[in-house]
Amino acid sequence: MVFLLSRLLVLTACLSFITCAFTDPGVKAQGEKEQKTLTIHVSSICPFQCLPSEYGGSRGIFYDISERIFTAAGYKLLPVYAPFSRAILLAQQGELDVMTTLYKDEIAGLLYPDEAVCYAKEMFFVRSGDPWRYTGLPSLADLHASGDKVLVSHGYDYGNRVFKQFMKVTPELFFVLGGASTFERAIHLLLNKRVRVVVFDHSVMAYSLARLQLEGEIIPAGAMHQGKKLYISISAKTADAGKLRETFDAGLKQLKSSRDFQQLLAKYNINFL
């Protein structure tokens, strides 16, 4: 009996091995759906986009929302870390599927959903107690005449053509800062009086000051515009790009009506839409 039982166990093991050896590893179990991968650009414009290594594992509200929506639709997100200018080329060439934190139709060759994620509001900031206020280009010209510096972020689109043109014709006024931890370094440069003014998005400044526990040390000194909608975009060369755009639109509308959306806004200290 023991002998027969041993032979039976050996036979069972052999059959299991044969079954495994000749089963196509690419074949999914019955009812299991294949998960497609979408590449998504991530950089450091926190709270919109965050580098996990700099922000305790957080990837920003755009990534979190995209992950919720596309995961529910059967997709897996693969973050791609690259400078903004490089990401644009990758998306236009079809080597990057999703870009985020864009104004509508900002970049050619991309498809934009109808539904915006949130708003950007570019503002001028000064040290607490500084009387300077932005009232238009003449107020920037006053800074230029006095030899002061205005800090801006390298490669950042401030959503204002007149301001961008002014940067081109008066480059000596501007202190252009790039690299890692750009916004936190900019805050320290302002507090140490290396520059007179910094130009940040309202949410980026609020998030950075709260993280550094420096609320009240830096104050708004005027807005470049009253707020512009920010979107994700899909590369037109991505397979099923139109379907992905529709999927995101429908998912975002549903998410905005839920408590989860309000919790995401609170997590990233975004308090206006």
Are both 66 and 96 inside the same structural domain? yes
Nearest alpha-carbon partner for 201 in 220, 217, 185: 220
Residue in the structure block whose two tokens are 């039982």: 5
- Residue 32 has what pLDDT? 45
Q: Do the domain assignments include residue 79?
A: yes
The verdict on 260 and 239 lying in the same domain is yes
pLDDT digits (tens, 9 = 90+) for 119-178: 999 999 999 999 999 999 999 999 999 999 999 998 787 878 899 999 999 999 999 998
* Model confidence, pTM: 0.81
Per the structure, the count of domains in the chain is: 2
Residue 28 lies in a domain: no
Could you give the CA distance from residue 7 to residue 18 in angstroms, rounded to a whole number?
A: 17
HSE at residue 58, side-chain half, CA atoms within 13 A, is: 18
Q: Does 90 share its domain with 157?
A: no
> 82: domain range?
37-119+228-267
pLDDT at 78: 97
pLDDT in the model for residue 117: 95
Residue 98 counted as domain residue: yes
Q: Is residue 1 part of a domain?
A: no
Give the residue ranges of the chain where pLDDT is below 50: 1-32
Q: Evaluate whether residue 14 is within a structural domain.
A: no
Q: Look at residue 270 in the predicted model and tell me its pLDDT.
A: 87
Boundary (domain end) residue, out of 188, 207, 223: 223
CB atoms closer than 10 angstroms to residue 141: 13
For the chain, the farthest-separated pair of C-alpha atoms sits apart, in whole angstroms, at 102
Say whether both 217 and 235 belong to one domain: no
CATH number for the domain harbouring residue 210 = 3.40.190.10
pLDDT averaged over the chain?
Answer: 86
